Amino acid sequence: MREVLLDEFKKVYGDNDGVRTYFAPGRVNMIGEHTDYNGGHVFPCALTIGTYAAVRKNKDKLLRFYSMNFESLGIINVSLGNLKYDEKDEWTNYPKGVIWALEEKGYKVEEGVDILYFGNIPNGSGLSSSASIEVLTGYIINDLFDFGIDLVSIALLSQKAENDFVGVNSGIMDQFAIAMGKKDHAIFLDTSDLSYEYAPLKLKDAKIVIAASNKKRRLADSKYNERRSECETALRDLKEVVDIKSLGDLTIEEFEEYKHHIKDDIHRQRAKHAVYENQRTIKAVRELKNNNISEFGKLMNESHVSLRDDYEVTGIELDTLVEAAWKQEGVIGSRMTGAGFGGCTVSIVKEDKIDAFIEKVGQEYKDKIGYAADFYVVDIGDGPKEI
């Protein structure tokens, strides 16, 4: 891949003298969905697919961005003195936002940079291509300018870019999972205080299979912000009667005791998902540590039902993929993953059944939805690095 990046950099920028190359992964969340902005637990892992970049400093005080995935857009130039969100700058608002967030924290980027990106994360799949490019950019700028920022801080700065620059009110999970990824491990993260531990994801004779619905996720950002607002309103109602900082502070028993104080029925449903999903995630990791992968799979299935019925973020595409998966031989568990409204499902499937799984689920999806899903058998990888 390094040679491909260097060749392409030379074509785009004229030569490749002094160019360095980097990689940051995508991520998939195994369980714990829409809990990260509710102070709950999540259980994501970094993937071996992700975003690559070739980069060098320039003397022009210009940020030059080019993506092999959006060749028709050409080089997009941004002045270091003009780091503002601009819709016409399209995808570059993500890396631009990270440099803005660094400068907001006092890390001054004094020289321009030429960057070429290439991602092999399926676009709009829900595997966090945006967080991948954010963390990659933060890692690169930190390395090029010797800022000495640790990986957790790079994750937080990347989240700030997405929240305050791009305007998507996301939690910390995506950026944290990408920055802190560890091969063959998932990260059990408490989003209330960023305490975490690595848990080996030993799947024995099974693999993770991701199915991309290929639905255009037009609603994802606005509905995501809407769900977050609904949970915040529910939390405000609960705070009047119980001393909590977040929905993640509640046990299931406590929620059941106090839930009638949530004034709106829909908000009560949303809060129920946040509380139950958090407890499900804690239990799932415990089962995994006891090598009880079948119980882990059942909890994945329960997670999907809650996201479908209480949180209402699945939709016909994701439900079709998951319900088809549940019927297949060798499937340990399957659920939607990511924000929802399109994107992906994640399944744990016995290795000797993967081909049949892809064929049968793919056929059922195409018959019902009218277009094909794409399937990826993925491995768990490390966080960002220079290559």
Residues marked as catalytic:
174
Please tell me the distance from the alpha carbon of residue 58 to that of residue 115, in angstroms, as a whole number: 10
Name, in order, each residue with C-beta under 8 angstroms of 213's C-beta and a sequence gap of 6 or more: 317, 318, 321, 342, 343, 344, 345, 365, 369, 373
Strands 62-67 and 20-29: unpaired
Q: Which long-range contacts (CB under 8 A, 24 or more apart) does 315-320 make?
A: 315/215, 315/340, 315/341, 315/342, 316/368, 316/369, 317/213, 317/215, 317/342, 317/365, 317/369, 318/213, 318/342, 318/343, 318/345, 320/364, 320/365, 320/368, 320/369
Please tell me the distance from the alpha carbon of residue 116 to that of residue 93, in angstroms, as a whole number: 15
Helices and strands, number each (H, E), in the chain: 11, 13
Please tell me the distance from the alpha carbon of residue 164 to that of residue 157, in angstroms, as a whole number: 10
The residues with which 209 forms a beta bridge, in sequence order, are 347, 377
Strands 62-67 and 112-119: parallel
Name, in order, each residue with C-beta under 8 angstroms of 182's C-beta and a sequence gap of 6 or more: 46, 198, 382, 383
DSSP state of 162: I
Which candidate, 337, 378, 334, 385, places its Cα nearest to that of 184?
378
DSSP string, 78-138: EETT-----GGGGGGHHHHHHHHHHHHTT----SEEEEEEEE-SPTTSSS-HHHHHHHHHH
Q: Count of CB atoms within 10 A of residue 111's CB? A: 13
Direct distance between the N- and C-terminal alpha carbons of the chain, in angstroms, rounded to an integer: 9
Strands 206-212 and 195-200: unpaired
Helix H or strand E encompassing 365:
helix 354-369
